[in-house]
Amino acid sequence: MMVDLSAIAAALPYLLQGLWFTVQITLVGVTGGIVFGSLIAVARLSPNRLISMPATAYVNLMRSIPLILVIFWVFFLVPWAIGWLTRSGRPVAVGASLTIFVTFVLFEAAYYAEIVRAGFRSISPGQYSACDALGLSKFHAYIYILFPQAIRNVLPILLTQTIVLFQDTSLVYVISATDLLGAATKIAQRDGRLVEMYLTVGIIYFVLCYAASQLVKELQGRFAYGGR
């Protein structure tokens, strides 16, 4: 078997387009996931069980089922949900991109929530008492005092989870989206170049993820508090 390099060169622009979509999913997933995940984490720490229990249930549910199943759920549910919200009475067709963005925010939020919660638990209880003593409202205490410390303590884990998220985006293949792997698949099937295309994307994923994980390792040393 011969690997045809010219086929790879010809496919590169399309692959880069796919990679851009992969990056977009990752960015939306990280931003939305951390924001929504932090809200869930705060909710889980609430003394009010009416708030903490649904949050716990959500995290456990999302962490028990495969991402592919969540992609299918959202793929079928979002049209219904939009139809219901707009009172049009029937499902509204939505693009694959919206489905994918919603899926990754919902799914990754559960994982980020656990990480942020671990961050909150790593802060010494004195910080919570000090916020009370200073008369800070709950909102201000979280925004200015607790959240920045929590995030800092778990930053390496947050970044590692983001590399996992970047790899997980390849699963949008199941609804035929054109991310990096999707783009490679489409060319592979059109030209009969399975070996070249899949090896190329494998190498692209490897280089990006390896570089990112080395960077995280580097940061891990630098971000630790001096005194610890």
Residues within the interface to another protein (CB under 8 A): 1, 61, 63-69, 72-73, 76-77, 167-168, 170-171, 173-174, 181, 194-195, 198-199, 201-202, 205-206, 209-210, 213
Closer residue to another protein (CB): 72 or 128: 72
In the bound complex, what is the minimum distance in angstroms from residue 21's beta carbon to another protein?
15
Closer residue to another protein (CB): 63 or 140: 63
In the bound complex, what is the minimum distance in angstroms from residue 147's beta carbon to another protein?
25
CA separation for the pair 181, 184 (Å, rounded): 5
Residue whose structure tokens are 């783009």:
183
In the bound complex, what is the minimum distance in angstroms from residue 86's beta carbon to another protein?
20
CA separation for the pair 37, 176 (Å, rounded): 27
H or E element at residue 175:
none
Closer residue to another protein (CB): 80 or 223: 80
Please check whether residue 197 is in contact with residue 188, taking contact to mean a CB–CB distance below 8 angstroms. yes
DSSP H helices, 124-178, are: 125-133, 138-140, 147-168
In the bound complex, what is the minimum distance in angstroms from residue 156's beta carbon to another protein?
14
Paired tokens of 140: 């201000």
